[in-house]
């Protein structure tokens, strides 16, 4: 099954093009853009990258960094970088579009985390589902509809790579606005699972293995993907996983003291092992994401979350993460360029370059992607964005048929798909009350009374109103009924 096909970009009879125009929307990115720049410098492709960002200064900084990297002796490719001032100038005639955007977390993320907590919802990440994830989607979807319309006008055949969370919502919005868009949602959670499986193969099977040696049959939705087959260099890993799941290491309990000093990204796999034991299929995302979809791990607040070895991403972390001076997770390219920090030109180990290289005519790549469902996941609705493997070759991405789920897992996944689809449908007309219906479907929100769920929704709207462009707040019956929304 071929889901999408781009324009023919090859310029000679070798079916390979080495001159690629990339439009990067959100080009002031503090993580993805510097990682992409380094990957491009080490690639077999050449071309030009146009960087657009609402904060033009940030885009200019990354353009300087890109050209600075190109001047280094280790750079083997030939790329140039320009900061552009409008989306139209950025997108016009582009072969590839990269989307990587977010709003100031000090004005958005902190509310996604702190307000639901006041109602007893102790979300671990609040980035892709739950009350905070839904509001992140509601901020993002109208903007991504605009991106889709601009792509349709300026580069209708371009390959579009979406890195923005919530990946499912954002990618679905692109297709809902422009059904012929060639958009792919990317995420590295499945890559992390493959790396972990390679480690188990090394440790327990005495196999010299890396992530590339591990193949999995993956299916689900982003951050709630599942694996029912796993092999390492042809060796079936399932007997090993069943053995490991019963060992003491897979049945650990943690306390807040045990996690003190750990990164918020710590992953002890205790949620993964528990779900594997219960349902017989292996989750393929980090525990901090899984708990937001399998919500009984959140019941009981911080103590329950910590018991499973998960550390909450708090609003203080989100605020610090926004500042390169305070965060070790945000790349400070100025420090590299002025010599304050040592720079090393290394690959990010993301799959973007593998995919792009295959699309432009050099070999075949198989990796996990997010695309509309056209049968690759047999028991989820059509057009919903799902995550499976896909085969990538010249100008073509073909998702791999992955089958369905055991009934309990299918029920969990379908519930989240219903939430996602309801929110996206509501966004077509900016119907806030219809979006509230999707909010009520969320499995975290279902723990609340009808009154509390309404007040939580209204309080989140009030806190983030400047970022909810495209939604009709004025005519909302839900807001009119609420004491948490002050109105005019």
Tokens describing residue 404: 């369905």
Q: Is 457 helix (H, G, I), strand (E, B) or coil?
A: helix
The answer to whether the CB of 221 falls within 8 A of the CB of 168 is: yes
HSE-up (13 A, CA, CB side) for residue 356: 27
Cα separations in angstroms, 185 against 109, 268, 419: 21, 26, 18
- The residues, ordered by sequence, that sit 6+ positions from 249 with a Cβ below 8 Å of its Cβ are none
How many other CB atoms are found less than 10 A from the CB of residue 256?
12
With left for phi above 0 and alpha for psi between -120 and 50, is residue 274 left, alpha or beta? alpha
- Considering only CA atoms, which of 235, 215, 239 is closest in space to residue 227? 215
Q: How far apart are CA 130 and CA 138, in angstroms?
A: 12
- Considering only CA atoms, which of 398, 324, 333 is closest in space to residue 81? 333
**Which of 56, 111, 154, 188 does the annotation list as catalytic?**
188
Quick one: angle between helices 270-279 and 407-427, nearest 10? 120
Quick one: angle between helices 56-70 and 32-41, nearest 10? 20
The answer to whether the CB of 439 falls within 8 A of the CB of 431 is: no
188 is catalytic: yes
Q: How far apart are CA 24 and CA 27, in angstroms?
A: 5
Burial of 383 (0-12, 13-18, 19+ CB in 10 A): middle
The answer to whether the CB of 438 falls within 8 A of the CB of 152 is: no
Q: How far apart are CA 274 and CA 265, in angstroms?
A: 19
Q: What is the DSSP string of 244-286?
A: HTTSGGGS----HHHHTT--TT----HHHHHHHHHHSSEE-S-
Give the CA angle between residues 425, 428, 430 to the nearest 5°: 105
**Residues carrying an active site annotation:** 188
């Amino acid at each position: 099954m071929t889901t999408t096909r781009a324009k023919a970009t090859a310029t000679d009879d070798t079916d390979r093009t080495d001159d690629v125009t990339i439009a990067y929307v959100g080009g002031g990115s503090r993580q993805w853009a510097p990682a992409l720049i380094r990957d491009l410098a080490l690639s077999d492709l050449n071309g030009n990258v146009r960087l657009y960002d609402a904060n033009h200064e940030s885009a200019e900084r990354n353009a300087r960094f890109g050209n600075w990297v190109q001047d280094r002796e280790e750079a083997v490719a030939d790329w140039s970088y320009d900061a552009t001032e409008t989306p139209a100038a950025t997108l016009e005639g582009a072969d590839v579009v990269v989307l990587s955007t977010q709003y100031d977390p000090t004005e958005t993320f902190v509310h996604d985390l702190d307000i639901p907590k006041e109602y007893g919802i102790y979300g671990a990440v609040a980035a892709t589902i739950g009350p905070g994830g839904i509001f992140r989607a509601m901020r993002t979807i109208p903007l991504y509809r605009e991106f889709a319309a601009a792509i349709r006008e300026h580069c209708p055949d371009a390959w579009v790579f979406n890195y923005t969370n919530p990946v499912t919502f954002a990618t679905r919005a692109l297709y809902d606005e422009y059904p012929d868009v060639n958009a792919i949602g990317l995420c590295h959670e499945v890559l992390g699972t493959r790396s972990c499986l390679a480690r188990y193969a090394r440790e327990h099977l005495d196999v010299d293995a890396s992530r590339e040696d591990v193949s999995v049959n993956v299916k689900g939705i982003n951050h709630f993907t599942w694996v029912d087959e796993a092999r390492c260099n042809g060796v079936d890993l399932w007997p090993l996983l069943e053995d490991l799941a019963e060992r003491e290491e897979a049945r650990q309990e943690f306390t807040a003291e045990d996690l003190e000093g750990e990164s918020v990204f710590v992953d002890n796999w205790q949620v993964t092992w528990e779900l594997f034991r219960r349902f017989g299929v292996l989750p393929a995302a980090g525990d901090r994401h899984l708990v937001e979809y399998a919500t009984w791990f959140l019941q009981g607040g911080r103590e329950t979350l910590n018991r499973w070895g998960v550390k909450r991403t708090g609003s203080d972390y989100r605020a610090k993460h926004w500042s390169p001076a305070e965060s070790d997770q945000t790349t400070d390219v100025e420090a590299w360029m002025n010599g304050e920090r040592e720079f090393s030109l290394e690959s990010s180990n993301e799959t973007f370059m593998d995919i792009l290289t295959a699309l432009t005519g050099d070999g075949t790549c198989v990796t996990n992607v997010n695309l509309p469902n056209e049968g690759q996941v047999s028991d989820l609705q059509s057009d919903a964005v799902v995550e499976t493997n896909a085969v990538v070759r010249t100008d073509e991405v073909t998702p791999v048929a992955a089958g369905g789920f055991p009934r309990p897992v299918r029920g969990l996944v379908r519930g989240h798909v219903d939430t996602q689809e309801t929110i996206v449908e509501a966004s077509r007309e900016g119907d806030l009350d219809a979006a509230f219906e999707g909010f009520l479907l969320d499995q975290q929100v279902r723990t609340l009374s009808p009154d509390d769920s309404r007040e939580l929704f209204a309080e989140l709207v009030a806190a983030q109103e400047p970022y909810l462009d495209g939604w009709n707040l004025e005519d909302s019956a839900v807001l009119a009924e609420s004491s948490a929304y002050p109105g005019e």
